[in-house]
């Protein structure tokens, strides 16, 4: 994405409009001119229709994070709540009590939907609403347009339940069962806002809170717990290897300085003790960090061990 940005002459121009919205806006504007010719106040009715068409077709180019096992916001909006709840049966998710992140999107939000995780599409379901319900004031109202999409990868699942008004073609999905999607890539369109419930495993680590503003396809809302544990294990291995290296270097220097010692087992034992002391506390707190032992002191202990070993022989 960075290379694409470098090639663009106007990198700040990341917004646009769907061609359908542009065509509808143009038609509404011509109708406004005709109505205005009949009676001037009627012009504003057509003008309002033109504005709604442009708002419904507005989108923005997004840059997904470089994330292997995380979850991003599937749409723009504000977090209403984060808690536990039962997922709709249409999502067919595993487990009974799942984490639910409820997001509310305003009518002027961008209209693209983004894959919350990388993986395959397991469930795709769309239920068209009724024209008598033009706005989704509450997510549980009857007659609204609803869509259910379930994503799966390596045993982890994420379900998305979308709700919007029933008037007009408000939700269009560009994926089908069996498709593979990348994290943060667009999988459909929802026009004029609505509600979005993201259902995640109960043991997931969430990073959002009520009232937070989300950017669809970019804001990280959670990490799968197994991936977090793997990252800590990798960090622990790297930390252990780095912390032990100074003691090993001192042991090598001591062995090189005392070539007459036939049996270096005593030196190895002392070096192991020094390594154990360095690795006694993994990831110490700032107030627990102590000054490392002087290498000269370690070297002296090695010489003493070698001397005692020589006297024992």
> Mind listing the pLDDT tens digit for each residue in 253-294?
555 555 555 455 555 566 666 656 655 555 455 455 454 555
pLDDT at 62 over 80: yes
4-31 average pLDDT score: 81
Structure confidence at residue 232 as a pLDDT band (50, 70, 90): very low
- Triad 188, 212, 121: Cα angle to 5°: 30
Q: Do the strands 220-223 and 98-105 form a parallel or antiparallel pair, or are they unpaired?
A: unpaired
25 and 67 share one domain: no
pTM beyond 0.75, yes or no:
no
Final residue of a domain: which of 199, 223, 247?
Answer: 223
Residue range(s) defining the domain that contains residue 272 = 228-312
Q: Are residues 185 and 259 in the same domain?
A: no
Mean pLDDT of 112-127: 96
Lowest mean pLDDT among 110-119, 148-157, 216-225, 299-308: 299-308
What is the structure's pLDDT at 102? 97
| pLDDT one-digit tens code per residue, 176-188 | 999 999 999 999 9
- In percent, the amount of the chain with pLDDT more than 90 equals 58
Are 188 and 273 part of one and the same domain? no
Residues 73 and 218 in one domain: yes
Residues 77 and 207 in one domain: yes
3-state secondary structure 144-174: CEEEEEEEEECCEEEEEEEEECCCCCCEEEC
Q: What are the residues whose beta carbons fall under 8 Å from the beta carbon of 160, sequence distance 6 or more?
A: 74, 113, 116, 147, 148, 149, 150, 151, 196, 197, 198, 199
Task: Say yes or no: 98 and 206 in one domain.
Answer: yes
Read off the pLDDT of residues 204-214 as tens digits, 9 standing for 90 and up.
999 999 999 99
78/185 same-domain check: yes
- Answer yes or no: do 282 and 136 share one domain: no
Mean pLDDT value across the chain: 82
Q: What is the model's pLDDT at position 289?
A: 47
Residue 296 has pLDDT above 80, yes or no: no
Give pLDDT, residue 237: 52
- Identify the band that residue 118 occupies on the pLDDT scale cut at 50, 70 and 90: very high
Mean pLDDT confidence for 19-29: 91
- pLDDT given for residue 15 in this prediction: 82
Does one domain contain both 234 and 216? no
* Structural domains of the chain, count: 3
Instruction: Tell whether 183 and 114 lie within a shared domain.
Output: yes
Report the C-alpha gap between 28 and 25 in whole angstroms: 5
Using CA of residue 196, residue 201, residue 206, residue 209, what is the dihedral sign? Answer: positive
Do residues 235 and 219 share a domain? Answer: no
Given a cut of 70, whether residue 249 has pLDDT beyond it is: no
Of 15, 31, 55, the last residue of a domain is 55
Looking at the fold, whether 133 and 236 belong to one and the same domain comes out as no
CA atoms within 13 A on the CB side of 193: 16
Exposure of 168 by Cβ count < 10 A (0-12 exposed, 13-18 middle, 19+ buried)? middle
Last residue of a domain, one of 191, 223, 255: 223
């Amino acid at each position: 994405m960075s290379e694409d940005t470098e090639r663009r002459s106007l990198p700040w121009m990341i917004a646009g409009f769907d061609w359908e919205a542009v065509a509808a806006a143009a038609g509404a504007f011509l109708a406004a001119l005709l109505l205005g010719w009949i009676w001037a106040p009627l012009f504003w009715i057509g003008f309002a229709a033109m504005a709604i068409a442009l708002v419904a077709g507005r989108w923005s180019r997004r840059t997904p994070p470089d994330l292997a096992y995380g979850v991003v916001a599937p749409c723009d909006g504000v977090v209403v709540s984060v808690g536990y709840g039962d997922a709709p049966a249409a999502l067919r998710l595993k487990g009974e009590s799942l984490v639910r992140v409820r997001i509310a999107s305003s009518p002027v939000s961008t209209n693209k939907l983004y894959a919350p995780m990388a993986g395959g599409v397991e469930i795709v379901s769309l239920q068209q609403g009724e024209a008598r319900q033009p706005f989704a004031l509450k997510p549980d109202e009857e007659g609204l347009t609803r869509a259910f999409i379930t994503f799966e990868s390596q045993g982890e699942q994420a379900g998305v339940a979308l709700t919007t008004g029933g008037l007009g073609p408000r939700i269009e999905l560009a994926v089908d069962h069996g498709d593979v999607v990348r994290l943060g890539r667009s999988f459909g369109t929802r026009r004029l806002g609505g509600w979005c419930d993201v259902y995640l495993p109960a043991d997931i680590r969430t990073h959002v809170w009520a009232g937070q503003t989300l950017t669809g396809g970019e804001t990280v809302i959670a990490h799968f717990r197994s991936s977090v544990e793997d990252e800590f294990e990798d960090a622990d291995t790297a930390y252990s290897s780095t912390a032990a290296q100074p003691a090993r270097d001192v042991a090598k220097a001591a062995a090189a300085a005392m070539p007459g010692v036939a049996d270096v087992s005593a030196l190895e034992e002392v070096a192991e003790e020094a390594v154990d002391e360095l690795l006694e506390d993994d990831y110490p707190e700032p107030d627990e960090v102590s000054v490392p032992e002087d290498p000269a002191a370690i070297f002296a202990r090695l010489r003493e061990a070698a001397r005692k070993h020589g006297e024992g022989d």
